Amino acid sequence: MTPDVVRHHLRALSEQIGRVVYGAEEHTRLAFVAIAVRGHVLLEGVPGTGKTLFAQCLSRALGLPMRRLQCTPDLMPGDVLGANVFDFRTQTFHLTQGPVFTEVLLADEINRTPPKTQSALLEAMQERSVTIDGTTHSLSERFTVIATQNPVEQEGTYPLPEAQLDRFLFKLDVGYPAFEQELRAVLTHGGQAGMPPIDALGIEPVMDPQQIDQLRTMPGRVHLDPKIGEYVVGLARATRQHPALAVGLSPRAATMLAAAARAAALCAGRDFVVPDDVKSLFVPLAHHRVVITPSAEMEGVRVETALAEILAQIAPPR
């Protein structure tokens, strides 16, 4: 697989998703980058903006099976992972697998379930394995979590802890569409109150699991100039020194930014990273990992503002 082939796959993926979800080209690119580097994606937005539909279309277009986990306040860890159930006929225990045993897990409204249940996904997202009653079970190497959440200001939400947020490569803000995009959605999908089943939307797979495996071997072959590496580290360190941020990016986050930049270069048909690759990924990768200080929050400073200042202050290499 060459960079041109990767770019072709991204274009085909964007075309398929764009037939149903309008204006999602950038989200599709970032999700594709996450898939390429074994990352997970968090989609945040108010209800009704197409977060779940986007995740379903993405899974279908990638040719990967998906299971949906509807997160509710009474959801228990065993409902996510599964449990050993005693069979009275054979007098033995057998594992009943939970929805985590899949390739793409759609964790819908993840912040409406308590922290105890949220934490059940930590091992799965980091190590692609789960431990049930002291026994470790491996998950698919292609295991990917696409989670949706409502803004934390809404009622009935449990904010995700920092350790959980750090498992997501990107947090993508799904806002209201532009007028033309919303009008197109109304004219196309306004024939009934609900969306038709995903099978009826005509999304065709543009990749297969073997091609996904090949894709994930590609970023490591992309050249990262040491000066670009210094730029990545400079951005990460600047988040730790910014007066409005109480918590900055960790060294692990800096490493993930470099890996994602390699995948972004592939999406552009290149086998080398340029500063714009890093800049285009910095905000979606950093937004959910940094913590603003209480005093800055009282003054109305937003995380996006602080990150924009850092991008302006740290000069990219020439």
Give 231-269 pLDDT, tens digit per residue. 999 999 999 999 999 999 999 999 999 999 999 999 999
User: How far apart are the C-alpha atoms of 56 and 201, rounded to whole Å?
Assistant: 11
Helix-strand-coil percent breakdown of the chain, rounded to 5?
A: 45, 15, 35
Give 5-36 pLDDT, tens digit per residue. 999 999 999 999 998 888 889 999 999 999 99
- Given a cut of 80, is residue 189 above it in pLDDT? no
- Given a cut of 70, is residue 153 above it in pLDDT? no
Instruction: Indicate the pLDDT class of residue 145, thresholds 50, 70 and 90.
Output: very high
User: How far apart are the C-alpha atoms of 77 and 106, rounded to whole Å?
Assistant: 16
Domains of the chain: 3-215 (3.40.50.300), 219-313 (1.10.8.80)
- Given a cut of 90, is residue 286 above it in pLDDT? yes
Model-wide pTM > 0.85: yes
User: How far apart are the C-alpha atoms of 109 and 314, rounded to whole Å?
Assistant: 36
Beta bridge partners of 41: 146, 170
> Nearest to residue 281, comparing CAs of 26, 62, 104?
26
Give 85-111 pLDDT, tens digit per residue. 877 888 788 888 889 999 999 999 998
Mean pLDDT over 189-194 rounds to 68
Percent of the chain with pLDDT over 90: 56
What is the model's pLDDT at position 229?
A: 95
Give 219-241 pLDDT, tens digit per residue. 999 999 999 999 999 999 999 99
